[in-house]
Structure 1
């Protein structure tokens, strides 16, 4: 949440065409006239400040005022002053305070708010009357909303918009074309080409119809457009595959990995989404886990994404503030808050007993006004529904579907709702324990954890790659490979585009191994920097170079140690496979395992697109 801002010097004021004369009395009485005008007084990328001005343009005193408007999904008020602002869905209502409701003729009053999102107000009403200057005509209905415009012929400086016609009982006169909520043109047809735009810039367009009596109807849905070329943040283009990485909350400690590393490595321009891991699940609710790392850790100027040092009294510091700065610098990136994970999955069983209450708690913590602008969605990492992980869950096969249904109902279509799930493709395995097919309708995609199939928890081996793309002769467990997992999910009815292939930015290994090829015996886990049996790719690429490949991934035998891990070359092969399967893209665990120049992130990006 931003502090309230009063100063507007240096900022362009955006006046929207919502001012108009409004009759506030019955036809038999002398009309009280007033206008309501909106201005966007500041915009800092992740949020904005808006101001409404109510003016009495009539000859009698106004004793109270109420301004109503609609915001598109994704735009909302986070704080307000000089008015009581409430909402019902996307409809917002502002009522005067006890001390500023009376307006003498010619007097005006303003109130302001901080908001998130890029939308503009529509369908303004002042004391129940229209604010658009048209007014209502007895016996003549206003026109319907036109169709959401489509965009074509997008260049560095122009875009062509086309929309389906509105309807009206007496005929349509013309259409107002709005960019960012401001009218930029009035046309008689259903197409318009906007020119003079800036390369590599995001725009939002809506359309509003006007009938022969000059009444306006509701605005259309919004169409987001990004012009080609230019900019420091080209980001993924429309139609490109998802490239999602997990950022670990605890990585700021021993791993010394911070949000700025995404910038210095070049990864920020290659990814599309970040999953922030992990929020905890306690007492059936989503909760913040490490508040110091997330919201309080102070960054110096050289450590921060923006190059500006944190201050002791700013309302938000830590990872969340750094992610806010990252999104301002790379606006194409969407951030989801992931809850659960291996350690925190024990709380999902209780959550599944009251899915609606769980979903409500998750929405509340994601939308906390201190950081609501940081997150674009929620990811659930339940390991594993109705099956065994760190502990064994007995919630039943429907629990996961019920939980995802409640999350979608609570978060709505404006937020991303995703889930990281098992990749056990064996017959009767974890993918058969829960209704992943039924839950898919409520989710934007699944992060299929196609790694950790084999490792040194099997102390004596046999050695096997932890992330095989396909089966191979001698694989220790049938179905423990990416291809079988993806095939099983498709057979359950999950659309290919809702499946992301998982990539591990680390290796798993054994020691006491004499055989180079997979299938050898071992005496235990190979030593690792943070944990025995596991090591980052950035270390392994030099300490134990690749010996060979099997089932689409790599393995390495050095001394008595045996490791398996993915490389840029094997990732390229996996991305080709993912595209041929029609998958929605890929995700990886996690950023800090990559090299300082982000070679694995780059390999995923190049392979997908």
Structure 2
């Protein structure tokens, strides 16, 4: 924990100067609040120092209880420039200034003030008081907010047998911009809109009604009512003839989640009321009589939808449906584009010294489309998403409890990042509610707004309790709700002064599920069984349901992806990839395209024979009776009917290596250079606990004399130091060029990378991948 700081001698001297100037009669004050405030107040003063002004805000607490935490906001007057600031953290956006309290003046006692450590700053230009001052969102003088003016010009613009259309003139703003309007039928709320027109529905035919409108600002302050208008709905007996069906319904555009439509206009002797657009038998949207186009949203990617349109006259007679048009929505990245999905590992900030900032400085962030944050764990008792703990994994990869209860909330959102570790070069103070990797992800997204960030759940050591969390409908609902609340609503657990309600809101754009593996053994000690296959599908369905429900309230669509196996046996055991299975709910799957062979850090895997870890095709020299290859893995999904634009190919930014490797003889004579040859175990790794594994950049630097070979038949890169030496299998620019070409040829969505810290500082592999896609 940081040690609380006190003002330095220089600060004390400046504060003393401020006090002297203020007591000399040079201050310009603001009158006290006209009435008792509900919270803190802030009083401004300015002292002339010749070439500059000492501008100061004293925060006061007129209530009977202490208040902890304050945020001061104001706008600088024209011509005033803000210099150095003291006793608070100030940020500016144009002329708008936001100040957070310092740790030593954040609590204002009942009846007290922040003196002698009130916020002040050096100003040049004039002693004019700042504008629009707010303290914790309230007026600095403690007075009530000024509400918007009442709307004017309310008029009836249309009627049907069950609806009345209204319009009005925009209201004048009070202290805050007008955000919405409430339409009242008599004294009952009938509609809420953001514009200056509304249609009130659900009315009785041939009935008189009275309407008024109120404006509301962003804080919910409401205006007085507008003048009332009256309208009588139409009598359906006066016109029973329907208008003709709209013609030439057509699609004018599509995205992964929407379809745009247009049609020809219809006329009717009684006048047109509008057009109703149907998705199948469901009313999707309604537009006005002068509009002959609409966009239907809330759709799923790569899904076929059928649309019709009906015209409706002012007597609510509906036409027959138009001719239908069927449209398939686009994939997650759009036709002609390719997904480039990278994993950022939580623990990379330690031994690897790989920070979110490195994604930016290497150029990778500008090339990636999606970034998956690895990983969050499952609570072993509550079977919910878990954060707020700091227990590390054990060093024994065969320990059944290696990942039980493990996590690192400090790295996630509590660790202050230095300026050198920060995306924008601004250090954390250590007192923000969001620090660590999550805050850096927020900064990265601000710099690269097209980048989507997902929270990955599980992974090799955190998948032990997936089977339990997915076992019943109630368990699934509880588990998914906890993940959505923690990472999409951003309600992180309080930890070392960080976290809290909404602290991570807006960072994550979806969920990536990394269950390794449903229906099959993964890490030692994992819970699994034959029931996992059906429960995995049900779990993804529950994620999709809750993500869509949240999206309906936020206006966003949240992504759902999964890491899926290359092994056909594991696919069959845990993944229903047929038409009624998991791909109904997934935006796309990242298919494992690596770790086909390796020695493992404890020599438990294949320590005695080398083998390619990510070959595109089966190697003709492969001595194993089973086949692992990218081609076979992807073909397994395609043969089941999975749309190729729902699949990315996994590539490795690291290598796997053996030592004590014999050279061997290649078919037709000559050296095999260690390919598929005997070995004595895993080669020394990048870290002592990771024998047999090195990041690409580390491999280049730490294994001198490793001569590179390219196997064109299987599309595999490997290097060999010579007889009895080390042999490493990995991807490089050569193999990535061929894999990305194959990805395009097969019409796949793109590529996924495990994981970003393995690349060089200049992003050599990411550049090659991006160039190929």
Given the two structures, how large is their TM-score scaled by the length of structure 2?
0.54
**Is 1:501 aligned to residue 649 of structure 2?**
yes
> Which of 681, 684, 698 is matched with 1:524 structurally?
681
1:582/1:237 CA distance change after superposition, 3 Å: closer
CA contact (8 A) 1:34 1:54 kept: no
Tell me the SS of whatever aligns to 2:738.
Answer: helix
CA contact (8 A) 2:173 2:217 kept: no
1:232-271 aligned at under 5 Å gives the runs: 239-271=336-368
Higher relative contact order (CA 8 A, sep 6+): 1
**Is 1:363 aligned to residue 484 of structure 2?**
yes
Partner of 2:615: 468
Partner of 1:533: 692
Partner of 1:383: 516
Tell me the SS of whatever aligns to 1:595.
Answer: coil
1:602, CA displacement in angstroms? Answer: 1.2
**Is 1:394 aligned to residue 506 of structure 2?**
no
Distance 1:407 1:517 in 2: 46
Distance 2:193 2:181 in 1: 14
Distance 1:505 1:406 in 2: 33
CA contact (8 A) 1:461 1:519 kept: no
Distance 2:416 2:190 in 1: 42
1:285, CA displacement in angstroms? Answer: 1.5
Distance 2:485 2:636 in 1: 35
1:263-412 aligned at under 5 Å gives the runs: 263-282=360-379, 283-288=382-387, 289-353=407-471, 354-366=475-487, 367-368=489-490, 369-391=502-524, 392=526, 393-396=528-531, 397-412=533-548
Tell me the SS of whatever aligns to 2:420.
Answer: coil
1:364, CA displacement in angstroms? Answer: 1.2
Distance 1:496 1:39 in 2: 53
Deviations along 1:377-433, one digit per CA (max 9) or x if unpaired, are 0000011000011035215231211111111111127111010011113xxx11110
Bigger mean CA deviation after superposition, 381-390 or 300-309: 300-309
CA contact (8 A) 1:462 1:519 kept: yes
> Which of 420, 426, 434 is matched with 2:574 structurally?
434
Distance 1:556 1:534 in 2: 14
CA contact (8 A) 2:596 2:629 kept: yes
1:513, CA displacement in angstroms? Answer: 0.4
Partner of 1:511: 659
Distance 1:509 1:537 in 2: 12
Partner of 2:710: 548
1:495/1:540 CA distance change after superposition, 3 Å: same
Partner of 1:420: 563
> Which of 714, 717, 720 is matched with 1:557 structurally?
720
1:303, CA displacement in angstroms? Answer: 2.5
1:541/1:312 CA distance change after superposition, 3 Å: closer
Distance 2:633 2:573 in 1: 13
1:126/1:150 CA distance change after superposition, 3 Å: farther
Distance 2:194 2:530 in 1: 41
Partner of 2:767: 602
1:477, CA displacement in angstroms? Answer: 4.5
1:165-184 aligned at under 5 Å gives the runs: 171=271
Distance 1:239 1:172 in 2: 41
**Displacement over 4 Å in runs of 4+:** 3-12, 33-42, 53-57, 62-67, 105-109, 133-137, 147-152, 161-175, 186-192, 210-213
CA contact (8 A) 1:305 1:322 kept: yes
Distance 1:301 1:558 in 2: 41
CA contact (8 A) 2:183 2:189 kept: no
Q: Which structure has the greater CA radius of gyration?
A: 2
Distance 2:172 2:742 in 1: 50
1:303/1:487 CA distance change after superposition, 3 Å: same
**Is 1:592 aligned to residue 757 of structure 2?**
yes
Deviations along 1:70-93, one digit per CA (max 9) or x if unpaired, are 89xxxxxxxxxxxxxxxxxxxxxx
1:279, CA displacement in angstroms? Answer: 0.7
Which runs of 5 or more residues in structure 1 are unaligned?
24-32, 43-48, 72-104, 114-124, 153-160, 176-185, 193-209, 214-235
CA contact (8 A) 1:567 1:600 kept: yes
Which runs of 5 or more residues in structure 2 are unaligned?
1-69, 77-93, 97-147, 157-165, 196-211, 237-242, 244-248, 255-259, 276-287, 295-310, 315-332, 388-406, 491-501, 552-556, 664-672
CA contact (8 A) 1:479 1:485 kept: no
CA contact (8 A) 1:306 1:325 kept: yes
1:479, CA displacement in angstroms? Answer: 2.8
1:41, CA displacement in angstroms? Answer: 12
1:284, CA displacement in angstroms? Answer: 2.2
Partner of 1:223: none
Distance 1:50 1:479 in 2: 64
**Is 1:483 aligned to residue 631 of structure 2?**
yes
1:313, CA displacement in angstroms? Answer: 2.9
Deviations along 1:76-120, one digit per CA (max 9) or x if unpaired, are xxxxxxxxxxxxxxxxxxxxxxxxxxxxx999874428xxxxxxx
Partner of 1:46: none
CA contact (8 A) 1:171 1:211 kept: no
Distance 2:750 2:386 in 1: 29
CA contact (8 A) 2:530 2:573 kept: no
Given the two structures, how large is their TM-score scaled by the length of structure 1?
0.68
Bigger mean CA deviation after superposition, 394-403 or 330-339: 394-403
CA contact (8 A) 1:34 1:56 kept: no
CA contact (8 A) 2:674 2:727 kept: no
> Which of 216, 219, 225 is matched with 1:112 structurally?
219
Bigger mean CA deviation after superposition, 393-402 or 599-608: 393-402
1:124-273 aligned at under 5 Å gives the runs: 138-139=233-234, 150=252, 163-164=262-263, 171=271, 239-273=336-370
CA contact (8 A) 1:453 1:481 kept: yes
1:239, CA displacement in angstroms? Answer: 3.2
Deviations along 1:122-145, one digit per CA (max 9) or x if unpaired, are xxx999x9x9x999762399x9xx
Distance 2:437 2:173 in 1: 28
Number of equivalenced pairs: 478
Distance 2:572 2:172 in 1: 54
**Is 1:52 aligned to residue 179 of structure 2?**
yes
1:346, CA displacement in angstroms? Answer: 0.4
1:326, CA displacement in angstroms? Answer: 0.9
1:307, CA displacement in angstroms? Answer: 2.5
Distance 2:264 2:191 in 1: 29
Tell me the SS of whatever aligns to 1:375.
Answer: coil
